[in-house]
A and B are shown apart, each in its own frame.
Chain A
Amino acid sequence: MISFLLMVNKQGQTRLSSYYEWLPMEERVALESEIIRKCLSRSELQCSFLEYRGYKVIYRRYASLFFIVGTKPDLGQPENNENELGMLEFIHALVETMDRWAGSICELDIMYQLEQVHFLLDEMVQNGYITETSKGNILKPLDLMEREAQKADSMYR
């Protein structure tokens, strides 16, 4: 299962972090900075997977932003059966979905709409499992929320 999903830029600054397994803040900070350092130390030619403290980490770089997914064995299971390539493509599916949602997405877009990116992610990953990969289905609830919000806004105008 997915243990955490991070978006970190190449200066090592976290742009989004979502943990599906509770970690205290100090550990999160340490984990994020170590993983991004590891990712940065790897060249484009090397494979997109690495192992870190028992996590199987899959990462993908888009311009200056790294999308990093850490996976762990399912609760109570000894082996991590995650399909690395499958997860790598899932990252891309996430980026494609974000693109469709906000035009061409960039680091700043994520920063300005942090909570919404979280909502989008919530539609795709729940409790560490991939629940939805159809872009239409992912974006539908977000559109609905948007519309309701506008309705509410207009009531005060």
Chain B
Amino acid sequence: MATGGVNLSKEFFELLKAIGESKSKQEEDRIIAKEVVRLKQKLETPQSGGMGSPAATNQLLTSKKRAKEFLVRLLYVEMLGHDGSFGYIKAVEMAASSSLFHKRTGYLVCSACLSPEHEFRFMLVNQMQRDLQSSNVLEICGGVLAATALITEDMVPAVSGEVMKLIAHDSDTVRKKVIIALHRFHQLAPETVTREDLVEKLRKVLCDRDPSVMGSSLNVIEALAAEDATVFKDLIPSLVSILKQIGEHRLPSDYDYHRVPAPWIQMKIVRILGIVGKADAAASSGMYEILMDCMTKADVGVNAGYAVVYECVKTIATIYPNPKLLDAAGEAISRFIRSRSHNLKYLGVTGLAMIVEGNPQYAAQHQLVVMDCLEDPDETLQRKTLDLLYRMTNPVNVEFITERILEFLRGSTDLFLKNVLTKRVCSVAERYAPNNAWYIRTITQLFEVSGDMVKQEVAQNLMTLIAEGTGDSEEADMLLRQNAVELYVGLLRDKPGTATKLPRILLETIAWVLGEYGYLSAVCTLDDVLKELCALASVKARLPNSTRKFMLSAVFKLVSQAGTCPPHAATVIDEYTRSKDTDLQQRCLEFQTLLTTAPQILSQVFPVDASAEDLAVDPNLSFLNGYVQQAIANGARPYEKPEDDDDDDDFMDESATNKGSGFKMTPYEKPQTPAAAMAAMRGMGGATPSMPGVSLPPGAGYGASTAPVQANTGAPGAVQLNTRNVANVWGKPQAAAAAPAPPPPAATSNAFASPGASSFGASSTGTNPYLAAAGMSSAPAPPPEPPKTAEQLEKERKAAALFGGMIPGAAPPPPAPASAMSAAAARAAASGATPVAAPAPPPPPAPAPAVEIDLLDMSAWDTPAPAPPPAAAGIDIFAAAPLPAAAPAAPPQVETVSDDEEEAPAGGLAAPAAPAPVPPPNPIDNLDPFAAEGLLGDVQDAPLASLSMGTQKFEFNGVPLGPLEITTAQFGQQWGSCPAVAPLEVQSSKVTTLNAFMDVCSNVGAYKVESIVSTNEGICAGMIGGTHVVLIHGKVSPGGMGAKLNVTVKSTDPSVTGPLAMYMQTLLR
């Protein structure tokens, strides 16, 4: 029995006693600190021995014992959080001891204490090598274990050879450790112990005569299969057979645990089956039977058995679905979820979350239990339930679920969790928002709760939405803005004095919205709004400068709207004229100058509600010509371009393609905006207009900033700067020539010209057309009770809200959030899951989802024959938006689509799940995106067919994909920097050659960069709106009836890839 530990020295015994009895961490720390002193002394004064011969042998023995004890004490010191580095060297020495216990103790202390960078690890290599070659099994085991724990990347080659040999060792104890050690080496140095080596070894080891060795190898198989399962597919029969034998109790009974045979080995095998069978019908079919069998046999009423059952449920949810197995899994889940044991309930909820995505019907029967779990005091269970809810979100229950998640977020302090939940709220809100007002409210709440974790794009999208509205009607948009204003004013008023503590992202959004639309507020006057903002902007408030700039811009706008500058605003502006931030200072000084010298032009500098207006910029600064001429006439020296020196490299980086014609530096290539710059430009603070060729760097242009008005008035041949729906953060269009210009269009630059600033009056109309519209939209079919009211009712009602749209038999949920939310929906295209392409209303300037744009485009596109430069194309489209009847058939189609809105696919989950605007391809008429939906009605096929023969350029929100002529090398550079990817695999009978594929790409609008015939691969590049680079890579593998096409679509704009991939899919199929 275990006696190796007894026979302690009195000192050690006292130490353990003291530690055991200590009542607090502080006391424990004191004890350990004393111990450290004692151990250090011991190290310095070596044991004095040699008093007499009998005593000497005894001394030898005890000193060895004491040396080991010293190490264990050191282990305690380290375990309890104190530095024991003074004694590490003893551990290294001890690893060389001939006594096994001592050797293992030495290794143990080394593994526990030596950091991976510690040089002592190298000192152990020799010893490990010796142990690995030992004839003593136990020494070999010690060596293998030490190698697993202590080897670093550099040391792998020194021992891997020895360990490799040991895989054939006679002892099973050694073999089972060796396979894990080899895997460890592979993790550290994949080039020394390659995957192939390991796979080859695994195949042998899996069939080892010893069950432990086999069981140990399963760990490695699982890890490798998770990276790439293909090489393990042929192991399925072996795994199935092993599992079967275990189920039949063929293993020695020592492997049984609570009457379940080798439960952990079973779990591992089942998990591996799940990995190799994932999305593979053929592989999966081979395991259906054994899974069923395994699940039945394991269900013996003990936890170990349940664990196996749970593993089976997970695998069943992963592999190619089988109805019988799914039913069995559903049955198991419902037993778990109804269990009294919280552990089993947990498994039930988690299992349900896994299975529910594809099979919502299994959740229906557990409504009440799920509601219980949601309110359970057990936080873990709540979390898992939220996870479940997230996965079963649909347009009907989205409000309820979002509210729940937000509530949970408020109470949570775990950053990791908060991050996950924040992302989820964003994704759910974008995908399923029932209307824009809700979207704004929800995102605002999210900002409040976890503002620091929200991506900047979300705020950008929100502001764009407010600025643009939906395009349905001006009244609705105004009401939306007004709602947003009231929301934000309310928010500021609720938190007097503490509003500056709101997250930065929220403050900036508030500042922008109030600055732009503060006048819409019905509850408070412009002056009140101004006061609130001034309070926020005050120097005393501790805010980052970027936020202050937002605040001050808002103050400027409001002051110019009010026409007078109230004292509090004047004070704030004055304060900032002394700011340390030069940008802030300059803005304030400029504003002050404007205010005092030319107040009449303020309204031009800060026009009302014009953030979505196009604005004109004269890149040549020709309005200055007169001034320059005069100066030259007066004897001034003409401007000479300075030599390009190295000093301004930084500046140049930023403005490589910027800075109008005067400063164009030739070394830079075409004015295509590099992807990295794009990303930077997307932020709102340092905004730059997205204008190809001419754009201003964030901080640049200040030299000209004193002449904003001229820029506006005297710009004869001005290039049309199209900022489209840009949320203009810094001042107004005209000023943009000077001030850092408005940010580029949001991720989805909608082809949308904002209705001008004309109809403010509309917002005061008594009726609420917007809400009416929203209400309409969600009620084509009698919906279950609206979630909003359901919250207030009791649990059943809650459950109904939650499970709306999930229960097959229950009231059919409204098919889709309709047009009211199309703007938000279009934004959601980023996630590739636009809820039913909500057709936009007839009026042209709509953030139309890509579908109609296809049609719009085809008509508008046929006229200008050669592809115009992207920017011009964008502008053209807007101009041509009302459809100047180029192709006669197109306009009626648009009408048809919008009229037949109700025909959108019904069925709660099906509708929103349809991922992209392009409807599922129809095998017969595969070029007609609408035929499948039956939306065409009686519209004849002819025009469409003819269209399909011609150009089929892809359009994104009205902006066509234009060719981007780059080289393969440039393509390669861009490829890595494109964040958004959409892979696509198509089995095509039509496009079977590389050339055909390249032609399709070219038809879509991309430039054929290169076709590599030898590998049947091709690459194409395109650009949308002069800003978003689109890259396409395709590989054609002929075979079978047609060819398999593997296409990867990449773009700098995540919202482009999904729709384009879908569009290409329909063309390719």
Quick check: A25 and B81 within 8 Å, CB to CB? Answer: yes
> Per-residue 0/1 for A134-146: is the Cβ within 8 Å of any B Cβ (1 yes, 0 no)?
1111001110111
Q: Which of B23, B101, B112 contacts A145 (CB 8 A)?
A: B101
Residues on B with C-beta less than 8 A from A114 are 5, 72, 75-76
**Which segment, of B261-269, B391-399, B574-582, faces chain A?**
B261-269
Complex Cα spacing A132 to B145, Å: 14
8 Å CB contact of B314 from A1, A81, A126: A81
Query: A89 to B257, alpha carbons, bound, how many Å?
Result: 9
* A130 and B310 alpha carbons, distance in the complex (Å): 18
Q: Tell me the bound Cα distance from A21 to B177 in angstroms.
A: 18
Cβ contact within 8 Å between A113 and B2:
yes
With A22-B115, A148-B100 as contacts: A115 and B380 at CB distance below 8 Å: no
Query: In the complex, are the beta carbons of A13 and B19 less than 8 A apart?
Result: yes
Q: Are B75 and A45 neighbours in the complex by a CB distance under 8 Å?
A: no
A window 24-56: CB within 8 A of B: 24-25, 28-29, 33, 42, 45-54
Say how far A140's CB is from chain B's closest CB, in angstroms: 7
Which chain A residue lies CB-closest to B141? A141
Given contacts A85-B347, A131-B177, A145-B104, contact A111 B16 (CB under 8 A): yes
B229 to chain A, nearest CB (A): 12
- Choose one: B24, B180, B350; the contact of A129 (CB below 8 Å): B180
Q: Which of A19, A45, A93 contacts B342 (CB 8 A)?
A: A45
CB neighbours (8 Å) of B187 from chain A are 75
Q: Are A81 and B108 in contact (CB under 8 A)?
A: no
Q: B1 interface residue, CB < 8 Å from A?
A: yes
Are A47's CB and B345's CB within 8 A? yes
Q: List B residues 262-306 near A (Cβ within 8 Å).
A: 262-265, 267, 271, 303-304, 306
Considering the chains assembled together, what is the distance between the CA atoms of A49 and B344 in angstroms? Answer: 11
How far does the alpha carbon of A144 sit from the alpha carbon of B212 in the complex, in Å?
19
A107–B5 Cα gap in the complex (Å)?
14
Q: How far is the CA of A149 from the CA of B138 in the complex (A)?
A: 12
In the complex, which residues 78-110 of chain B have their Cβ closer than 8 Å to any Cβ of chain A?
78-81, 83, 99-101, 104-105, 108
Contacts of B173 in A (CB 8 A): 137, 140-141
Contacting pair A112 B5 (CB below 8 A): yes
Contact flags B360-390 to A (C-beta < 8 A → 1, else 0):
0000000000000000011111010000000
**B343/A85 in contact, CB under 8 A:** yes
Q: Is the CB of A111 within 8 A of B115?
A: no
Complex contact A115–B5 (CB within 8 A): yes
**Across the two chains, which residue of chain B brings its CB closest to A13?**
B28
- Whether B719 is near chain A, meaning CB under 8 Å from some CB there, is no
> Which residue in chain B gives the minimum CB-CB distance to A153?
B61
- Does residue A63 face the partner (Cβ distance < 8 Å to B)? no
User: Within the complex, which residue of A42, A77, A148 is in contact with B378, where a contact is CB–CB below 8 Å?
Assistant: A42
B181 CB–A CB distance under 8 Å? yes
Determine if B381 and A144 form an interchain contact, defined as CB atoms under 8 angstroms apart. Answer: no
Query: How far is A85 from B145 in the complex, measured between Cα atoms in Å?
Result: 27
- Within the assembled complex, what's the spacing in Å between the Cα atoms of A54 and B418? 11
* Alpha-carbon gap, A78 to B344, bound state (A): 25
Given contacts A86-B263, A86-B311, A146-B4, contact A135 B271 (CB under 8 A): no
Pick the contact of B5: A88, A116, A135 (CB < 8 A).
A116
| B2 touching A146, Cβ below 8 Å | yes
* B679 on interface, CB distance cutoff 8 Å: no
Query: In the complex, what's the smallest C-beta–C-beta distance from B880 to chain A, in angstroms?
Result: 46
A126 CA to B23 CA, complexed, in Å: 34
Nearest residue in B to A33 (C-beta to C-beta)? B25
Given contacts A85-B347, A122-B145, A126-B145, contact A102 B100 (CB under 8 A): no
Query: Which residues of chain B from 1 to 50 have a CB within 8 Å of any chain A CB?
Result: 1-6, 8, 16, 19-20, 22-25, 28
Given contacts A86-B307, A137-B173, A115 and B75 within 8 Å (CB-CB): yes
- Chain B residues 244 to 274 lying within 8 A of chain A, measured CB to CB, are 252, 254-255, 257-258, 262-265, 267, 271
Tell whether A49 pairs with B115 under 8 Å between CB atoms, given A113-B5, A145-B104, A156-B57: no
Task: Return B755 CB to nearest CB of chain A, in Å.
Answer: 45
Q: How far is the CA of A114 from the CA of B58 in the complex (A)?
A: 25
- State whether the Cβ of B469 lies closer than 8 Å to any Cβ in chain A: no
A156 to B271, CA, bound (A): 53
Q: Which residues of B lie under 8 Å from residue A146 when comparing CB positions?
A: 1-4
Chain B residue, CB-CB nearest to A125? B180
> How many whole Å from A83's CB to the nearest CB in chain B?
5
Q: Is the CB of A156 within 8 A of B378?
A: no
| Known contacts A13-B19, A74-B226; A51 and B2 CB within 8 A of each other | no
Chain A contacts for B2, CB-based, 8 A = 101-102, 113, 116, 142, 146
Q: Quick check: is B184 within 8 A (CB to CB) of the other chain?
A: yes
For B252, the chain A residues whose CB sits under 8 A away are: 134
Q: Is the CB of A51 within 8 A of B138?
A: no
A88 to B267, CA, bound (A): 13
Q: How far is the CA of A140 from the CA of B254 in the complex (A)?
A: 13
Contact A47:B100 (CB < 8 A) given known A16-B79, A115-B75: no
Q: Name which residue of chain B comes closest to A76, CB basis.
A: B227
B304 & A131 in contact (Cβ 8 Å cutoff):
no
**Set of chain A residues within 8 Å of B176, measured between Cβ atoms:** 131-132
Would you call A85 and B1 a contact (CB within 8 A)? no
Q: Bound state CA distance, A49 and B222, in angstroms?
A: 23
Distance (Å) between the CB of B812 and the closest chain A CB? 34
Q: Does B183 count as interface, using CB distance less than 8 angstroms? A: yes
- Is A119 on the interface with B (CB-CB < 8 A)? yes
Q: What residues of chain B lie closer than 8 Å to A137, measured between beta carbons?
A: 172-173, 212, 254
With the chains together, A85 CA to B57 CA distance in Å?
A: 53
Looking at the complex, which one of A11, A19, A50 makes contact with B380 (CB distance below 8 Å)? Answer: A50
**Chain A: minimal CB distance from B172 (Å):** 8
Partner of B381, one of A47, A53, A83, A88: A47
Complex formed: what's the CA distance from A103 to B342 in Å?
A: 31
Do B343 and A48 touch (CB < 8 A)? yes
Instruction: Flag whether B219 is at the interface (Cβ < 8 A).
Output: yes
Query: In the bound complex, do residue A52 and residue B414 qualify as a contact, i.e. CB atoms below 8 Å apart?
Result: yes
- Are B307 and A111 in contact, with the CB atoms below 8 A? no
Is there an interface contact between A141 and B105, defined as CB atoms closer than 8 Å? no
B100 touches A145 (CB 8 A): yes
Residues of chain A with a CB closer than 8 A to B181's CB: 126-127
- B78 partner residues in chain A, CB cutoff 8 A: 25
**Residues on the A chain within 8 Å of B341, using CB:** 47
**B632 in contact (CB, < 8 A):** no
B378 near A46: Cβ-Cβ < 8 Å: yes
- Whether B378 pairs with A13 at a CB distance below 8 angstroms is no
> Of B8, B116, B417, which contacts A112 at CB under 8 A?
B8
Q: How far is the CB of A118 from chain B (nearest CB, A)?
A: 5
Min CB distance B548 to A, Å, is: 34
B383 to chain A, nearest CB (A): 6
Chain B residues, Cβ within 8 Å of A129: 180, 216, 219-220
23 A-B residue pairs with CB within 8 Å: A11-B24, A14-B79, A29-B81, A33-B25, A42-B378, A46-B378, A47-B378, A75-B223, A83-B314, A88-B343, A101-B1, A102-B1, A112-B6, A113-B2, A116-B4, A118-B108, A122-B108, A133-B257, A134-B255, A141-B138, A146-B2, A149-B99, A156-B57
Residues of A within 8 A of B (CB): 1, 11-14, 16-19, 22, 24-25, 28-29, 33, 42, 45-54, 74-77, 81, 83-86, 88-90, 93, 101-103, 107-108, 111-116, 118-119, 122, 126-127, 129-137, 140-142, 144-146, 148-150, 152-153, 156
Which B residues contact A (CB, under 8 angstroms)? 1-6, 8, 16, 19-20, 22-25, 28, 57-58, 60-61, 68, 71-72, 75-76, 78-81, 83, 99-101, 104-105, 108, 112, 115-116, 137-138, 141, 145, 148-149, 172-173, 176-177, 180-181, 183-184, 187, 211-212, 215-216, 219-220, 222-223, 226-227, 252, 254-255, 257-258, 262-265, 267, 271, 303-304, 306-308, 310-311, 314, 341-347, 350, 377-381, 383, 414, 416-417
Other than A86-B311, A144-B137, give 19 A-B pairs with Cβ distance below 8 A: A11-B23, A18-B112, A24-B115, A25-B83, A49-B343, A51-B417, A74-B226, A77-B223, A86-B304, A89-B263, A101-B2, A115-B75, A115-B108, A119-B108, A126-B177, A131-B215, A133-B255, A145-B101, A156-B60
